[in-house]
Amino acid sequence: MKSTTRKKNVTKCHYLDLSGQVFGELCVKRATEERKEGTVVWLCECSCGKQVKLSRRQLIRGYRVDCGHIKLASLNIRQQVFGKLKVIQPMTELGNQTKWLCQCDCGNQTIVYYYNLRNGHTQSCGCLKAVSPLTIVNGTAIELIKSTTVNSNNTSGFRGVSRCHNSSKWRADITFKGEQFHLGNFETREAAHEARQAAEKHFYSPLLSQYDNLPKF
């Protein structure tokens, strides 16, 4: 009589290894066994020495850039202007995920997350889309990725480049298909700009080529 040995089904977990990468003041040390929203939770060490556990989404999208030690003053954007929006007051406790009440140039008021104002994702109450319909290809607005306009509150002079909150370094970010990618921190704004340009070539160029080949009516 033949003996039958059952083989266990082994499923390997595949995920992007973030070990060693730096996001703001956070250096990713290693993956943990914990999961949040179906993704790996990473052990990170802040520049101040404190350790904190964060998900890939929190790191990649820039929701968290430190352990929480950033001074509240640096998060206070009251009266600042982002596109057509003037910030009036916070609707929740100050932090990277604070909701801010904003006054749009068109007269409407809207509530926007801090990080959506900082990264340029939201620049109006929605009236810009209503007045000027955008050409959408694969979920991305062609006009926005072709634009070379720099926000008036930008301190670097380059799109997607900003100074780190707690250091003299410059960080580079890019948004593609609704997701923000942190490209790293750099000693000079020129180096950050080069990283941003490389990311634009990687993400934007294929989509722009696809758009150029579409039939125009």
- Tens of pLDDT, residues 86-110: 999 888 776 667 888 999 888 888 9
Question: Given a cut of 50, is residue 8 above it in pLDDT?
Answer: no
Question: What is the fold, at CATH topology level, of the domain defined by 134-212?
Answer: GCC-box Binding Domain (3.30.730)
**Which one of 31-40, 174-183, 190-199, 203-212 scores highest in mean pLDDT?**
190-199
- Strand, coil or helix: what is 87? strand
In angstroms, the CA 126 to CA 103 distance is 12
The pLDDT value recorded for residue 7 is 41
Side-by-side strand order, sheet with 85-90? 81-82, 85-90, 99-104, 109-113
In angstroms, the CA 92 to CA 100 distance is 8
Cβ pair 199, 172 in contact under 8 A: yes
| pLDDT interval class at 1 (50, 70, 90) | very low
CB atoms within 10 A of CB 76: 15
| pLDDT interval class at 217 (50, 70, 90) | very low
Query: What sign has the CA pseudo-torsion 160, 163, 166, 167?
Result: positive
Residue of higher predicted confidence among 38 and 195 = 195
Question: Given a cut of 80, is residue 140 above it in pLDDT?
Answer: no
Question: Given a cut of 90, is residue 174 above it in pLDDT?
Answer: no
In angstroms, the CA 206 to CA 217 distance is 22
Average pLDDT over residues 13-20: 79
| pLDDT interval class at 44 (50, 70, 90) | very high
* Residues β-bridged to residue 52: 44
* Residues β-bridged to residue 41: 55
The pLDDT value recorded for residue 11 is 37
The pLDDT value recorded for residue 143 is 74
Question: Given a cut of 60, is residue 73 above it in pLDDT?
Answer: no
Rounded to 5°, the CA angle 139-172-117 comes to 60
Q: What is the pTM of this model?
A: 0.43
- Domain spans of the chain? 15-69, 70-130, 134-212
Q: Which residues 6+ apart lie within 8 Å of 61 measured at CB?
A: 115, 179, 180, 182
